[in-house]
Amino acid sequence: MNPGAVYYQLARQESFSEWWHWLLLLGVIIAIVSYVIWMYRKDSFELATGTAILLGGLRLFALLGILLFFLQLEKRTQKTLVKNSRALLLVDTSQSMGLRDTDSTSVPAMPSRVEQLVLELKSGKLLPELRKQHDVVVYRFDQAEAPVEVASLPKLPSADAEAENRTPQQELDNSLAGARRLAMIAAGVVGAAAIAGLIYLLQGRGQKLRTKETMRAGAEQQSYSLLVSVVCLIVAAVIFGTANLLHPEIGFGAILGLSKPSARSVEKEEKPAELPPIDWTASLLPRGVETRLGDNLKALIDKERGGPIAAIVVFSDGGNNAGLDPTVAATVAADSLVQIYSVGLGSDKRPANIRVVDVEAPEKVFPGDKFTIKGYVQGVGLNSPALTAELVSTDAQGQGEKLEDEKTVNIGTTGQIVPVEFELKPEEQGVRLFKLRIKPDAREIEKRDNEKITKVEIVDRKTKVLLLAGGPTRDFIFLRNQLFRDKESTVDVILQSARPGISQDAHEILTEFPKEPDELFTYDAVIAFDPDWEALDDEQVELLEKFVAEKGGGLIVVAGPVFTPQWSSRRKGDPRIDTIRNLYPVAFYFQGSATLSLGRFGSDKPWPLNFSREGEEAEFLWIDDSAEASKRAWSQFDGVFGYYAVKDPKPGARVYARFSDPDTALDNELPIYFAGQFYGSGRVFFMASGEMWRVRSVEDTYFESFYTRLIRWASEGRRLRDSSRGVLLTDKDRALLGDAIAVRAVLQDAQFKPLHAEQVAATVIQPDSTRIPLVMKKTKDAERQGTFSEQFIALQEGDYQIELQHPAAADQILLRSVRVRMPALETERPERNDKLLIDLTDRAGGKYFVGLDAALQGKWIGQEKNEPNQSLVQFIKPQDQRNVLPGTPDRNFDRLLMTWLMGLICGGLCLEWLIRRLSKLA
């Protein structure tokens, strides 16, 4: 807001809408003035000329005051609101911006693409130069559809602006100086009035010594002295009143310099807030798995449209690989008169690199059984497409390296990902670390990604599963048969609807749910198909809850149309059912909420599963060897016919898939089909119906793969209990760059009771061997004592390891590993896309600069030979918006003006009356 101009206006004139209003006012004024002149011309026969003029002037002065009072003189201050021009910097933070480029000769490589920009933002000239004329707002974008604001930097004040935009105290001091000058002038005029008054008095005393002939001439001179004295007094009063009206909120003493202005007469000076330091490295860290340039540009234009946008500057390698076509956003920008400039970062050639994308191996194998380790290798820009892949193994501490096998891999020349397989047959039990590595090429920039490690546990122990079913559903029968044939598993069965003595394919047939800890705690997972939980007593329910929460057992629950509606819709109050509800990762509807009508069991049409991003990335839901293959397989699945409707996911639970029929959506949310959560040290997985047997229609092995991976995930808490006093878990074993990885610890003290502490300290070891602290805080669930959780963001590709030293047992360290990889989408075409960036700026009326140096030096693509260099900053012209705000009346001025006018009017009339009485007039 700029200080505005002060102006004065007559408020009454707004009501004079017709010409005759002004004519009538003029006629009244002329009549009154004529009457005053006529009256004092008549009285002038008896008065001296000066006295007549004085009396007439006093009457006219009073009438002038009344006229001003009638016309309502007002003081207004007109202000100008200035919106500074805005330069918007849109920075690409997708994973490809973290690549390091080089030419054919320079090794090692320059900083990564985004690091070059970070260095410029930290210490370069770009931001200071832009801030001389604009507010600068920095946004980042990647896989989301809208950009995220990183920093808002206000325009820097110029020397002229600092001179013009004086502080309120400076403005007051300057104005007071003018008012004091007027007061001094008024004092001088008062002095003149005093001299004229003194002359008047002296002339009066001198008349006693004069003759009659000179008395008339003396009276005439004395009347003029009186006229001068009174006129000077009136002028002094007007001048001093004007000085007072300049600052109606300040007293006489302050204007005359006899005292200081009160604190309330000085507006509080607003000091510009100091900008907090910006961590550009952390704010612009490449983490996005996709680049949605078009979506983010359009969202930014829609957000800023109508404001004082000078230009949008895009810093990117142009690797748009998802979402809206950027040219559509450029067209929108052109229609909105928004210019887009772009600065291309990175090389237009693919950097030479070899990377082991991933290594897959079973987490657990048995001695003497063959198993396969499968790796994925990618190479770009190499001299030779033939590479040697080595598989070596070490013990759990990384000691005793042994070459297991080596193979030649032909990776081709187009950067495709090539698989390589190794078949092994372990003989000894224990944990082995298997490393797949490729010898680096001389031209490689980044060599840390040439190897990957995976851990395989060789144990002579089978997974023990308890199947609980309210009735013989197809999923139950298929899974029972699968686990019974699987040599790595043992399966016991409780079929609640079965007659005693019925024969089933199971290692043991139970007639009731276990009641003793030694019976239940031997299992790794419990799988319940539409169970009748009401058939369990209090002790059995409590034992099940302890099996999951404290012993890390897995629980997979499958809803059905028979028993699930009966127990889940009951009101709270039954401790058994309330405990069962707590185990589920979803909240149920109660009686009276039309739960049965929301179910879709027995529909006449199948609906595919709508997987969330977390569902697509969850390895335990893959039904094929990789995420891409699994996604294709699920897309071929016709779907399921029914589901049991639940209300919401519980806090902390993850929804992996939803039922896709749009007619079943409530509040724009499709029904939950797959959901999971941590519960204490265990995991619980929910399925809305038991129809996974239908996936056999795509391929027979998919059903087996689905349940094998799901059981392994659910029972992980049991298998990873490498300490008798606790367990450390993560919500995923494999993640993509930028993912949030949740870590959970369930700890016990020396008496094997839940550990009481507010927090515990863990450490995350990143792929580059740097260690970052991870403070895990006690969970809010009061019923789950000894449970701690926290999460971190995976910002590097490679293997992360989480370490937690047990706070109550110094000799016990809990370990957990997570593998993080870069999505192929960001590495398939990492070279700079000049064509896209040129087309973008041409459509939006901007310029394209290749690299930061070109942007600062003023060399753009398409520059003619005779065109002088013009930097990016010079191209971006200010687009300040100025809005004039009409002034509001100064109420202090109004009150003071009324006081002065009343004083002057009354003073003038009283003085006129007094002089008339002294002159012996009526």
pLDDT digits (tens, 9 = 90+) for 724-761: 577 888 888 878 777 889 998 888 887 777 888 889 99
- Mean pLDDT (the chain) is 80
Higher local confidence (pLDDT), 440 or 898: 440
pLDDT higher than threshold 90 for residue 848: yes
Q: Which of 94-103, 192-201, 324-333: highest mean pLDDT?
A: 324-333
pLDDT higher than threshold 60 for residue 922: no
Q: Which of 52-56, 525-529, 574-578, 629-633: highest mean pLDDT?
A: 525-529
pLDDT of 773 reads 93
pLDDT band at residue 594 under the 50/70/90 scheme: very low
pLDDT of 108 reads 47
Higher local confidence (pLDDT), 513 or 595: 513
CA distance linking residue 483 with residue 238, whole number of Å? 107
Q: Which of 385-389, 512-516, 661-665: highest mean pLDDT?
A: 512-516
pLDDT higher than threshold 70 for residue 879: yes
pLDDT higher than threshold 50 for residue 266: no
> Among 411, 406, 412, 422, which Cα is nearest to 377's?
411
Q: Which two tokens stand for residue 868?
A: 């002088």
**3-class DSSP assignment, residue 814:** strand
Mean pLDDT calculated for residue range 661-670 = 87
Mean pLDDT calculated for residue range 567-573 = 81
Element (H, E) at 727: strand 726-730
pLDDT band at residue 539 under the 50/70/90 scheme: very high
pLDDT band at residue 263 under the 50/70/90 scheme: very low
DSSP code string of 477-524:
HHHHHHHHH-TTEEEEEEETTSPTT---SSSEE-SS---SHHHHTT-S
pLDDT of 747 reads 86
CA distance linking residue 774 with residue 804, whole number of Å? 9
Q: What is the pTM of this model?
A: 0.55
The region of weakest confidence among 30-34, 121-125, 131-135, 508-512 is 30-34
Q: Are strands 586-587 and 881-885 parallel, antiparallel or unpaired?
A: unpaired
Mean pLDDT calculated for residue range 474-497 = 90
Residue 448 to residues 355, 437, 796, 902: CA-CA distances in angstroms?
Answer: 8, 10, 11, 90
Q: Which of 166-180, 246-260, 526-540, 775-789: highest mean pLDDT?
A: 526-540
Q: Which of 743-757, 766-780, 798-812, 818-832: highest mean pLDDT?
A: 766-780
Q: What is the DSSP letter of 723?
A: B
pLDDT of 866 reads 85
Mean pLDDT calculated for residue range 184-188 = 72
